[in-house]
Amino acid sequence: MSPKNSKIKVGISCGDPNGIGLEALADALSDERSMSDMIPVVFAPLELAEMTFGDVPWGEVTHVNLACEGRINLVNFEAQDFKYTPGQASKEAGAVAMRSLEMAVAHLDSSELDVLVTAPINKDTIRQAGFPFPGHTEYLASKAEVDEVLMLLCCDGMRIGVVTGHIALKDVVSQLNSDRIMTKLQIMNDSLTRDFDLNSPRIAVLGLNPHAGDNGMLGDEELRIIAPAIRTAQNEGLNVHGPIAADGFFGSGAFKNYDGVLAMYHDQGLAPFKALSFGRGVNFTAGLSIIRTSPDHGTGFDIAGQGVANGASFREALHLACKIRHHRINQSHQTSKPI
């Protein structure tokens, strides 16, 4: 555990090595001032670092505890059969992504790292390598042995969570129930309070159907499932409002009146978020004892290896992880509770 005023040690998984993950990281940390509050530690093959870090200060370390300030610290591992081929999907690349993630999480679990930032993976290639999860969020929930976590997309004051995540649209309704919505609301409220230092956060809940169902004319999920969950949350003291029609909520700017927004499914929340965040968005996994963030973009195979990857979202992910860590440290000092 880092002392209250020390630099945060950030573990970084390399993501798909043929994508833009480490290129974006290099751009994010190209100005040494970006590392002023952190010590970045990357888990990746040496070849990949040599090809992607460019002029950014970096060096190899044999152990996380030897990581130095003012540079990217590389923990190298052998990657059999992998060859760096930017933009190319392969099982071997998926195996590198999986190994990097597992190493970073292991060091996080042993408290040698303070927070985790994950570079983007290719869900198909990592699955081919034996990764049995739809994405990082589900993997981390399984490792933590918790039933529910919350994917929370953050940019400035906008924080959007989703009830259902990486599932097909046709399966959304079958996965919605009042208890699950209430659980997500509780996770969001707790995270906004603990991780973002917000008192009695104001939360909006979106409806599922067009016009939030128009009082049952366009679907009754709002009446049967969503509204009862909202009432339960309100009865338990949460500052929750809705169900709100999703179509005009973002365009009108109404989202600015809330500290958090709970959407019913992936694209209902992420499509407007990515349109409004201008490439600076961060994905934070709420509901875990550990702190994990990631940039909100994908592997970028179409531009990989061209030196044009934008590190803005990666930079925001690094700094949000550190900021949340500081919030938790401050709270633990105030309450005498462990982080």
For residue 4, name the pLDDT band (cuts at 50, 70, 90): very low
- CB atoms closer than 10 angstroms to residue 83: 12
pLDDT digits (tens, 9 = 90+) for 86-133: 999 999 999 999 999 999 999 999 999 999 999 999 999 999 999 999
Q: Looking at the domain that runs over 149-285, which CATH code has it been given? A: 3.40.718.10
8 A C-beta contact, residue 317 and residue 21? no
Q: Per the structure block, which two tokens stand in for 1?
A: 């555990």
Q: Per the structure block, which two tokens stand in for 70?
A: 């003012």
pLDDT digits (tens, 9 = 90+) for 129-169: 999 998 999 999 999 999 999 999 999 999 999 999 889 99
- Identify the CATH assignment for 1-146+288-339 out of 3.30.590.10, 1.10.150.20, 3.40.718.10, 1.20.58.390: 3.40.718.10
Length of the chain: 339
Does 10 score more than 70 pLDDT? Answer: yes
1-146+288-339 shares its CATH topology with 149-285? yes
Give residues with Cβ within 8 angstroms of 239, minimum separation 6. 189, 200, 201, 202, 203
Cα 230 to the center of its chain, rounded Å: 25
Domain spans of the chain? 1-146+288-339, 149-285
